[in-house]
Amino acid sequence: MADVKTPLARGAFVQVFSPRAMKNKDGTLGKAKYSINFLFPPGSDLEPLKQACLDVVTAKFGSDKSKYPAAARNKDKVLPFKDCANYDYAGYEPGWTFITATSDSKPDIRYAKRGADGKLVRLVDEADLYSGCWVQGIVNPYWRKVAENPGISFGLQAVVMVREPTDDETSFIGGRTNVDAEFEGVDFGGGSAGASSADALFD
């Protein structure tokens, strides 16, 4: 189906530079994939994404909903938009919604700025895109051909890094730590670097 551009989102569990295998429900490792969670703040226009999902179902099963299989009549299977409030992860705030997008091949990764040729500049430094960054993506919904768990999934085509998070925005797992904030008010007492051993710190 057609590619769809996401609204502005924060990236979480960013795994777009190298694939990673996730555990299946039975504990075995699945196929390694590139992936990212797009976290959308309240008020984001998700209608184009939702309509694209519905279009996939219509294209596959037709317009007569009475003939749809059970999965195609299940809202959670057709519209895989998840409530962040149901997940205990840093940055998953009440009122926010997220989707997961994956790909077998490496997605196109760019900065939200154009080079002399007028094209978006390619992002090759992994340190510049991490969990918590504001991003937009290009995804394509498709019907998942898995007998035990059919439904809509999002394929990942591209990620555009829009900006880094500000110091007062929530830190994410896998994101960068604001060192100044973490050590605010700490008096290091003028001690020399390396004066303490690691063993002493953990006594």
What is the DSSP track for 15-32? Answer: EEEEEEPPBPTTS-B---
CA angle (159 as vertex; 124, 121 as ends), nearest 5: 45
- Tokens 């919904």 -> residue: 141
pLDDT value of residue 25: 72
pLDDT value of residue 168: 84
Q: Which positions of the chain have pLDDT values less than 50?
A: 175, 191-203
* 4-174 CATH: 2.40.50.140
Burial class (CB in 10 A: 0-12, 13-18, 19+), 56: buried
pLDDT value of residue 185: 66
pLDDT value of residue 159: 97
Say whether 198 sits in a helix, a strand or coil: helix
The answer to whether 91 and 102 have CB atoms below 8 angstroms apart is: no
pLDDT value of residue 197: 42
How far are the Cα atoms of 27, 117, 152 from residue 69, in angstroms, in the given order? 28, 49, 13
User: In the chain, what are the domain boundaries?
Assistant: 4-174
